[in-house]
Amino acid sequence: MIKKISLLIILFIMLILFIQMQFDLKGYLNYFSHEYFLSHTYKDTASSNIVTGIYLDYRLFDSIFEASILLIVVSGIVYMTTKEGEENERVFIFEKVKISNLLTILSRVLYPFMLMFGVYIIIHGHLSPGGGFQGGAILATAVLITYYIDPDKITKFSLIIFLEKLLFISILIISSLSLLTKNVLFTNFIPNQTSNTYRSIFLILLNLLIGIKVSLGLVSIFSSFLKEGRS
Amino acid sequence: MNPILSFIIILIGIYGICTSKHIIKSIVCFNLIQTGTILLFLNLGYSEEGHIPIIGEQIEKIVDPIPQALMITTIVIGSTITALALILSIKIFHYYGSLYWKVVFDREG
């Protein structure tokens, strides 16, 4: 009881400090960065979407570490759920639950459209809202809906991990190619003099790689949960 | 007012982590902290008359794009970390036979 009361007192003090900071913050807030991004992003990064321009050009270093965290977590989950020798003998949950025919037929119809929408979101990431992370999640749902169509589908985890490693290495190589052309690490490797249409190839390439990586990661996480839920 | 509300969500998450007796509840509170952080960052960059941060015609003012770019990575990382925590809790259940913190600590020592 005393512990809970003292915890509540500490949290209350934190709240009061935060409210005080909130009043101080109004003096520091300014809009210089907004104007800077609005006027410079298209010239610097060839991307209409400022958010994509930030996470694929200004702050590419952060995105690389984000991709590496995804790789580490996926390999950790797959390591913890697979045991030797019974890779193909496991029973999925879906084999025991009867799936209605309506859902199966509807997912057969929906599956190509979901794939197309995910690829559209990824490829148009530098022009409209979207990008690698969001489109990767849509692609992952499109791939996972095939469990409804074909419950006997076998996911090869070793192949997924190999592909994830390959994609991460290619993201590293593509983002550090600018050392050769511009003498600066982690930025667009196509020179500034070329037109913006060609410079956006870099953004499309990185968005595609990140999208495939995220979708592979989410597919492997969900499939390993399905395997773990067997009985 | 809105940043204070999202900070209250973070505080509720901290309280839940400190007092919950079940491992799944701890993971849920961990997610609460993450959601509160995302709301807090997006609130700090919000302005009333700002447009979405996409360059187009007749746009003079935008909302802050940096918190949005940071929160994209936070959402992906948060979902993967939650998945890792749930897998670990499954392993704990197979090993100790229970998901209550007290039972787990008793059986360990």
B22-34: pLDDT as tens digits: 999 999 999 999 9
What integer best gives the mean pLDDT of chain A?
86
List residues bridging with B4 in a β-sheet: none
pLDDT band for position A231 (50/70/90)?
Answer: very low
Among residues B39, B66, B23, B18, which one has the least CA distance to residue A31?
B66
Q: What was the pLDDT predicted at A89?
A: 52
Residue A47 falls in which region: left (phi positive, over 0), alpha (psi -120 to 50) or beta: beta
Minimal CA separation from B20 to chain A, in Å: 11
Gap between the Cα atoms of A2 and A140, Å rounded: 48
Minimal CA separation from B80 to chain A, in Å: 7
In order of start, what are the domains of chain B with their CATH numbers? 3-108 (1.10.287.3510)
Whether B5 and chain A come into contact, CB under 8 Å, resolves to no
Gap between the Cα atoms of A210 and A168, Å rounded: 8
A127-150: pLDDT as tens digits: 988 888 899 999 999 998 888 787
Which residues in chain B have Cβ-Cβ distances shorter than 8 Å to A41?
Answer: 55
Q: Mean of the pLDDT values across residues A184-213?
A: 89
Secondary structure (3-state) at A206: helix
- Which distant-in-sequence residues (6+ apart) come within 8 Å of A180 by Cβ? A189
Which residues in chain B have Cβ-Cβ distances shorter than 8 Å to A82?
Answer: none
B31-56: pLDDT as tens digits: 999 999 999 998 888 888 888 888 88
Gap between the Cα atoms of A133 and A128, Å rounded: 14
Secondary structure (3-state) at B61: coil
HSE value, Cβ hemisphere, 13 Å, CA-based, for A63: 30
pLDDT band for position A229 (50/70/90)?
Answer: low
Among residues B96, B98, B92, which one has the least CA distance to residue B109?
B96
Q: Flag if A80 and B88 touch (Cβ within 8 Å).
A: yes
